[in-house]
A = this chain, B = another copy of it.
Amino acid sequence: MQSLVAVDWGTSSLRGARLDSTGAVLEERAFARGILTVTQGGFPAVFEECFGDWMKPAGSLCLIAGMAGSQQGWMQAPYCPCPAGFEEVASQLSWVEAGRIAIVPGLSCMHGEVPDVMRGEETQVLGALQLLNLQEGLLVLPGTHSKWVQVSGGRMENFSTFMTGEFYALLRKQSILARSLPEADGDFDRPAFEQGVSLALRGSSLLSTAFSARTLSLFGRMDSAALPSYLSGLVVGEELRTQPLVPGADLVLIGSDTLTQRYEDALALRGISARRVGMQASWHGLWKLAQTLDTREP
C-alpha cells in the first residue's frame, strides 16, 4: 500500500492525517469544518481545500470516518450491522470517488426492539484493537454521546450509547443548576468530581442526584467553583452505575487525555482499572482498513 490520507469528519470538527506505508503519522491537520458548517453539495470543495495537496500523488487513497457518512454528510454510508470487524466494515465502504475516496460505514445494533448507532467510533475501536493487539474486551469512548462497545473475536458484537456529554452541557448551561454554577469552568476539582461519582454510584437516578448541585450550593456545603466538576462526576457516575462491570475486566478507554483521565478516576471508585488510548486510534483504524482493502483487492 502507498500512503493513506486518513480523515475523521465529525459533526463539529474535521481532522486529517497523512500516513506512510507503515501506518506512521507524517502530518496532522485539524479544521473547524464539521459537517454542520458545510452546505449541501459543498463537501468536495471543502475536502479539496483541506486535503487536496495530500491527494495529488497518483494512486492516493483517502478513507473518511465519522458523520460525513450521515444523511447530513457528504454521502450517506448505510450502517453496517453488528457483529462487525475489519472485514465487514471494509467490505461496506461507500466510494465517493471509486478507488480514491471512500467513507467508512457507521455501525448499528439492536437492543431488543430498539436500534443503536455510531459513526466514527467504530474506526477508533478498530484502531485501538490494532494498537493493543486485542481480540476481546470492553471499549469505552467517552464524549457527547459516549459509546460502550463489546468486542469478541476481534469483532464489535454490540454497543450502547449514553448521552453523557450532552446531558452535562444541558444541565451546565440551560437548567436551573446554571444559576448556582459559575459562568466559566475553573480548574478541575478532583475531590468534587469524585464526590459526584460516588453519589451517582449509590443508585438514585440523575433526575434526583442532579438537584443536589443546587441544594449543596444553597446550603453552603459546596463552593460554586467546585460545582462544574461535581456535576461532571454526577453524569459520569450515572453512566458507570448501570454498567455490568466486574473487577479485572479488560476495559479500554479511547479519547482525549482529559476525558479518559476522568473516566479512569471514576472507574477506580468502582474498583475497575482501564487502559487508555488517545485520538490516534482513528488513524490506526483507517490504516488497517486500507490494508484490509489491499489484501482483498489485489
Contacts and interface: CB of A to CB of B under 8 A. Distances in A.
A154 to B, nearest CB: 25
Interface string A198-231: 0100011111101110011011010000000000
B170 A218 contact: no
Interface in A168-183: 170-171, 174-176
A211 B116 CA distance: 8
A166 interface: yes
Interface in A70-128: 108, 113-117
A239 interface: yes
A190 interface: no
A69 to B, nearest CB: 13
Given A115-B216, A163-B175, A170-B170, A207 B235 contact: yes
Interface residues of A, number: 39
Nearest to A145: B211
A40 interface: no
A164 interface: yes
Given A115-B212, A161-B208, A166-B176, 17 more contacts: A114-B199, A115-B216, A116-B212, A117-B215, A145-B211, A160-B204, A162-B211, A163-B176, A163-B207, A170-B170, A170-B174, A174-B174, A203-B242, A204-B242, A205-B206, A205-B242, A207-B235
19 contacts: A108-B219, A113-B221, A114-B215, A115-B215, A115-B216, A117-B215, A117-B218, A160-B208, A162-B211, A163-B211, A166-B175, A167-B207, A170-B174, A170-B175, A205-B206, A205-B238, A205-B241, A206-B206, A208-B242
